[in-house]
Structure 1
Amino acid sequence: MALYIAVLAAALLGSCWGAPPLDTDPAAYDLENYDEDSDTWDLNSYGEAFDYDDLDEKIEVGTVAPPPAVTQPPPEIVPEDYMEEVTLPPRTTKSPVLPTLDFLGPGLFGPVTGLGMPTCLLCVCISGSVYCDDTDLTEIPPLPKDTTHFYARFNKITQVKAKDFLNLNQLKRIDLTGNQIATLGEEAFLSLPQLQELLLADNKVQALPGLPATMRHVDIRNNRLKSGGMHREGFKDMKDLQFLYLSDNQLDYIPGPLPESLRVLHLQNNNIQSLNQDTFCNSHDMNYIRKALEDIRLDGNPVDVNKYPQAYVCLPRLPVGTPH
């Protein structure tokens, strides 16, 4: 039976490989005459016999064929000016950090005032101007370094110390009207290189310290200012001074010499008893005319102007209060 199966397999293989058909007579495959008729099916007569041992060595049952070789594409040439758009992953959002105010350092908010509040929270700070009107201040608060105009009217400030305006090199105007100021530090204003206006009306000032030569407007009305409390020739070097208000004080003479730039001089309601011929005019030059000074008020003083006709002969207008 085994021989029959082998013969049948050979016949099938022979048909697959194009070999001529074998004799299908069953007698030809009888085991008894197999040796006798061995020439009947000689595989060698149809070509080289297939080596099944080699087949077993070359093909292993159950072995998966290797994957096909992958052909790499040629490298891509990228132009030099090529810019690739890259989509970045979304950023992680962090909780916003709230700004903090440095009340102890320099800058807009400055240190703490006498009331325990930062200056620019207690007052109003706008573009270099600091407004502290009617806020119950008892002293000058620390000011931002870029302050140009300072208003602290109608408070309870009693004095101005030398250090109150220290290093405020841009300060041009100080308005302390309507306080209770009795004393002014001797160096309180001299260190201000751009100061032009000083308004101290309605206070209790008894002495006026030195002022910078840059002054244009000085208002010390309704104080307790005495002639002995003013610097001798204190206004002489103020080449730009135009307005000088000294009414309602205790002055007993007109402070001079007065700069040529002066336009308004109010001295009413003082204790002025005499006039000097050189107070307004130049006794050595009879042709001298003081053109700028057009508004002088001496009413309310005990001075008899009729005794000093040469004192105002150079003026374009007579002082208010003189008899007609």
Structure 2
Amino acid sequence: MKRSIFLFASFLISYFAMAQTSLSTQTKYICPPCGAACDQEVHDAPGVCSHCNMVLIKKSDSKTIAFYLQDGVEVLDFAGPMEVFAYAGYRVFIVSATQEPIKSQGILKIIPDYSVENAPEADILAFFGGNSSAASQNPKVIDWIQKQKNVQYHFSVCTGAFVMAEAGILDGKTATTFHNALDGLETNYQKVDVRKNVRFVDNGNVITTAGISAGIDGALHLVAKLQGLNAAKRTAYYMEYDNWKLGDGLILSDDNPYSNRKDQSFYKDFEGTYEYVNDTKLNLVFDPKLGNLAVAKDGGLQPVLHENGDLFSDSGNEPVFFKRDGNGKIIGYSLSENGPLFKKL
């Protein structure tokens, strides 16, 4: 009898231990950073934040990114991607060879957060052009890069590719760089398959981009990989980056964020004219450039992005709940799950 009780107790302990492990490994969701207290809350299911009303993202999508910057770094090389990553909710910090101030293009003074001696680990390491040899030819920098064992992604803009190549990260990979440096990358690093006339190259967990402004495209692509295409579209809209072309790069990885896009027929039911606040109207149309719904307003298009089912989100990540009648026909939308209905006209 005692033995039976002992075995049953052991079973219960094992069961609850497994249950706790299962719960701890479930996907968790957080509010995109909005500066409010809800930034610290963790949710067990997707949906909408009850405090700020923003659509929740996976906690695993929130990343830390180390920007390695050297003296003479090109401003737009890092400033463009920094804008992308900051708006997408990532924590970016600056690392350099030392913590002494450096200058970008001899103009912008930058005080690094860390040196290679004391920098914390990051999910993503990023490298940029503009005097990149100061990094690629510095043994301490290369040693620091090679010792980072928990990095999930490596990212470079312009001649930042030379830094990754020197560290061996591009060995056996396909890469690109600034147009004037393509031959140099190919000559000096013969284990790298160098490609010309591409905006970026995605090897999976290693992404290189062409020069300067191409870093914005590569950063948006990485956001699309990590958080989904909607997050990248929302970021591009916020930045007024109208030149972005979805997937305009060489994508060699299986996780292509553009492969499962809904076609125009999916959005047909949602298109039309709807009531809006203060007795005004809004017109929802399909935007063929970005492949989503949009509000036609003031001669421009404001994105309305599909999340799941009949839940969409606007450019500010606020939810839009479309409603159907008993026959499945769209009859309007609400701006909160049980809010007042704005009718489809």
The TM-score bracket by the shorter chain reads: under 0.3
Higher helix share: 2
Q: TM-score, normalised by structure 2?
A: 0.21
Select the structure of larger CA radius of gyration.
Answer: 1
Q: TM-score, normalised by structure 1?
A: 0.22
